[in-house]
Amino acid sequence: MTDDELMQLSKTVGDALKQQGATLTAAESCTGGWVAKAITDIAGSSAWFERGFVTYSNEAKAQMIGVDPAVLTQHGAVSEPVVIQMAQGALTAAHASYAVSISGIAGPDGGSENKPVGTVWFGFASHDGTVVTRHECFNGDRDAVRRQATVYALKTLWQQFLQKA
């Protein structure tokens, strides 16, 4: 997806949030704030983007958004239980309507047989208590994995929560 297409996707998400009178927060690890950047590239996004959390380390995940250190130890940062807690913690901390969380292995190092480079977990939480998770394995270099994860997060948010509203 080109930068222009990413900007259009961010605008579509923002327009839907604005229409609902809803707000969004993001808890990002491997994308390092790319979702927040894509969103805040849209003029007027302060009306619907509350705040973002770049929780790259396990300590940041625990301190900033309340991820249980025992869950991090048991499952690892790149796991379904962690992205659930990231999304729910960000939702609560930001008092937002929706949250997206992302934790993955962008590479080139850090992969394993069970979690190869390109593995990314996503969590989506809504103020109504709905939680959705997704798992993807993207191809490409570090930049490509991070871009694909950012696009996937915004598209899934749109499809799961905003499009039907």
The answer, as to whether pTM is greater than 0.95, is yes
User: Helix or strand or coil: residue 155?
Assistant: helix
Rg of the chain over CA atoms, in angstroms?
A: 15
Fold designation for 3-147? Maf protein (3.90.950)
| Full DSSP string of 54-118 | E--SHHHHHHHH---HHHHHHH-SSSHHHHHHHHHHHHHHHT-SEEEEEEE--SSS---SSS-TT
Q: How far are the Cα atoms of 19, 23, 85 from residue 13, in angstroms, in the given order?
A: 10, 11, 23
Q: Where are the domains of the chain?
A: 3-147
| Interval 96-146: pLDDT, tens | 999 999 999 999 999 999 999 999 999 999 999 999 999 999 999 999 999
| Interval 64-107: pLDDT, tens | 999 999 999 999 999 999 999 999 999 999 999 999 999 999 99
